[in-house]
Amino acid sequence: MPPARAAEHELLDRVVAVVNDEVITQAELDTFLRPVYEQYSKEYSGAELTKEIEEVRHKILGQMIEDKLVYQEAVRMGIEIKDEDLEKEFQEFKSKLEKPGELDAMLEQEGLTMKALRERLKKQAMVRQLQDREIRSKVIVSPTEVEAFFKNNPDKFKSKERVRVKSLTIKKSEEARAKGLTDEKAKQRIGLLAQRIRLYRNFDQVVKDLSEDSHAKEEGPGEWIERGSMIESVDDVIFKTPVGKITGVVETPVGYHIFRIDAKESEKVRTFEEVKEQIAGYLFQEKSNARFHDWMEEVKKAAYISIK
Shared-domain flag, residues 107 and 201: no
Minimal CA–CA distance to 122: which of 180, 71, 185, 183?
71
Considering the domain boundaries, does residue 194 fall inside one? Answer: yes
φ/ψ of 164, rounded to 5, equals -105, 125
- Count H helices and E strands in the chain, helices first: 12, 9
Q: How many residues can be counted in the chain? A: 308
Cα dihedral 149, 150, 154, 160 sign: positive
Give the structural domain span for 222: 159-266
Three-state secondary structure call for residue 202? coil
Considering the domain boundaries, does residue 126 fall inside one? Answer: yes
Decide: 306 and 18 in contact? Cβ < 8 Å. Answer: yes
Domain count, the chain: 2
**Residue 75, Ramachandran bin (φ over 0: left; ψ between -120 and 50: alpha; else beta):** alpha
Q: What is the pLDDT tens value at each position of the chain, 308 positions in all? A: 444 444 444 445 799 999 999 999 999 899 889 889 988 998 898 999 999 999 999 999 999 999 999 999 999 999 999 999 999 999 998 888 877 678 888 888 777 889 989 999 999 999 999 999 999 999 999 999 999 999 999 989 988 899 999 999 999 999 999 999 999 999 999 999 999 999 999 999 999 999 998 888 887 788 999 999 999 999 999 999 999 999 999 999 999 999 999 999 999 999 999 999 999 999 999 999 999 999 999 999 999 999 98
HEC letters along 101-140: CHHHHHHHHHCCCHHHHHHHHHHHHHHHHHHHHHCHHHCC
Considering the domain boundaries, does residue 31 fall inside one? Answer: yes
The CATH number that applies at residue 107 is 1.10.4030.10
Instruction: Encode burial over 190-212: b for 16+ CB neighbours within 10 A, e otherwise.
Output: beebbeebeeeeebeebbeeebb
Shared-domain flag, residues 53 and 12: yes
